[in-house]
Amino acid sequence: MRRAIATLDPGYFAWVMATGIVSIGTDLLGDHLISQVVLGVTVAAFVGLVLAYAARLLWFGSFVRQSAADPTTAMAYFTVVAGTDVLAVRLVLAGHPLVAFALGACAAAVWVGLTYALPWSIVAAARRPVLGEINGTWLVWVVATQSLSIVAAAVAPSAPATWLRAELPAVAVCLWGLGVMLYLVLIVIIFLRLLVIAVTPAEMGPAYWIAMGATAISVRAAAGILAVHDPHATTLVAAMRPFVVGLSVVLWAFGTWWIPLLVLLGIWRYVLRRYPRTYEPRLWNVVFPLGMYTVASFSLGQIAGLGFMASVARIWVWVGVAAWVAVLFLMGGALARSLVERRHSQEKMIV
């Protein structure tokens, strides 16, 4: 157990992100039984990972500091923010807005710390150019930022104070704008890295699916802003509505464009270059974008009157569910193999 905690992937909260978004998508599209079951898995994964991350920070602080200074892994810690926010949004749908507000507040505090601490730690520790070590994981920064925007808009109507109900929609708009700008900056850097520096099959991992997931969650955050009806915030939302709708359609189209390219890159990795098809925690980074694409398409389609997006969501939701089941099966198989190998090693020691 201590070894598992010591080597815990910094981005394992992607499991919570992926599971939570599948629960949200199935709930929005009327599959409530599936949604409830997946919600239970989301809560269990969240509690277990919070305990595991806390234990890792307490017992193996040097490992945490090392990964936080590594450009290839540091940004994966933003999955803690995004996973917490995805669970918070699902709890709003379940009728627990105050719990969601508390989770969102905790996620916001972690986001502030990571937003400034991680870039600083990477730059301060760098003794070489870091462009070659930047990968798709950096886009989790965008996902975490937009997840805060979604939570701010979702909990605003039931916030515990009047001033919060008035100000949270403006906070959601500002975070959405920040997330869009971060995406534009980071996607240029990542494209540059792919075109300038040779990429190995090990490097071309599931994290690059976040390039699509970041556009999808930006679209969902925009839909949350457009859904705000608080009279104190309608002036700002009304003024930005044409811009928000227009840019959201552009982001949705760009995210859709990513899907065939990412599939081709997966074929190159697993088929042409014969990379092992085994479980790795970052496979959840594939499931989350697939689920978020469903939620984003349905939400913007409903609010902006774009019927074709809602139609896409009704089909695509099952792609996300199938991917979630497949990765969960792979994770269970990897855990079973690990337990069997441990038992065999113990038997050999006894003999």
Cβ atoms of 74 and 29 within 8 Å: the answer is no
Cβ atoms of 183 and 134 within 8 Å: the answer is no
Q: What's the pTM value of the predicted model, to 2 decimals?
A: 0.93
Instruction: Give me the residue spans of the domains in the chain.
Output: 2-350
Render 270-293 in DSSP notation, one character per residue: IIIS-------GGGHHHHHHHHHH
- Find the length of the chain: 351
Tell which phi-psi region holds residue 347, choosing left (phi > 0), alpha (psi between -120 and 50) or beta: alpha
Please list the pLDDT of the chain residue by residue as tens digits (351 residues): 788 888 889 999 999 999 999 999 999 999 999 999 999 999 999 999 999 999 999 999 888 888 888 888 899 999 999 999 999 999 999 999 999 999 999 999 999 999 999 888 877 766 667 777 888 899 999 999 999 999 999 999 888 888 888 889 989 999 999 999 999 999 999 988 888 887 888 888 898 999 999 999 999 999 999 988 766 666 777 788 889 999 999 999 999 999 999 999 999 999 999 898 889 999 999 999 999 999 999 999 999 899 999 999 999 999 999 999 999 999 999 888 888 877 776 666 665
**CATH class, range 2-350:** mainly alpha
User: Which is nearest to 75 in space by CA: 174, 6, 20, 144?
Assistant: 144
For residue 221, with 0-12 CB atoms within 10 Å meaning exposed, 13-18 middle and 19 or more buried, which class applies? buried
Q: Is 276 in a helix, a strand, or coil?
A: coil
Question: Could you identify the residue written with the tokens 């955050």?
Answer: 221
